[in-house]
Amino acid sequence: MNLDPAVMSRPFSAHIDTRDTIKYKEVMKQFNLGPNGGILTSLNLFSTKFYEVELLNGNIYYEHPLEVFIFNNQLDYVLVDAPGQIEIFTWSASGGIITEAFASTFPTIITYVVDIHLVLRIHKLL
């Protein structure tokens, strides 16, 4: 699952992709936002449609899409690629909606992966 509306390309296919629902550059232009504001606003907009996610097979589910998707595809796990801005998941409404949707569907583990160079130079991380 891709939750990063600004990613240009990925080395994997995503069954659910934010970019299918929200156009990041159009959001930036419409609301006169920079890159970070565009990502946050895009995810806020996506979270309002989270229960209407269109899956690759073209069906739109109005019930909990994660449950339907996992059941229909007999998945053991779901890997989610999210934007690197941690504040999306620490204080924004969209982060709460998205993480609660996962947590209410199945056991959830969240891992925040950081480039080792940022950790070694804390002033760059903050």
Task: Rank 21-25, 97-101, 110-114 by mean pLDDT and report only the highest.
Answer: 21-25
Answer whether residue 43 is part of any domain: yes
**CA-closest candidate to residue 19, choices 61, 54, 60:** 54
Check residue 101 and give its pLDDT. Answer: 77
Write the pLDDT tens digit of every residue in 21-51.
899 999 999 999 999 999 999 999 988 876 6
Answer whether residue 3 is part of any domain: no
Answer whether residue 59 shows pLDDT above 70. no
Answer whether residue 6 is part of any domain: no
Check residue 54 and give its pLDDT. Answer: 46
Answer whether residue 40 is part of any domain: yes
**Domain tally, the chain:** 1
Check residue 70 and give its pLDDT. Answer: 65
Domain span including residue 116: 18-125
In this prediction the pTM is 0.73
Q: Quote helix, strand, coil % in the chain, to nearest 5.
A: 50, 5, 45
Answer whether residue 12 is part of any domain: no
Check residue 56 and give its pLDDT. Answer: 44
Write the pLDDT tens digit of every residue in 63-96.
555 666 666 666 777 788 888 888 888 888 888 8
Half-sphere exposure of 70 (CA within 13 A, CB side): 14
Answer whether residue 34 is part of any domain: yes
Answer whether residue 13 is part of any domain: no
Write the pLDDT tens digit of every residue in 10-24.
888 887 888 988 999
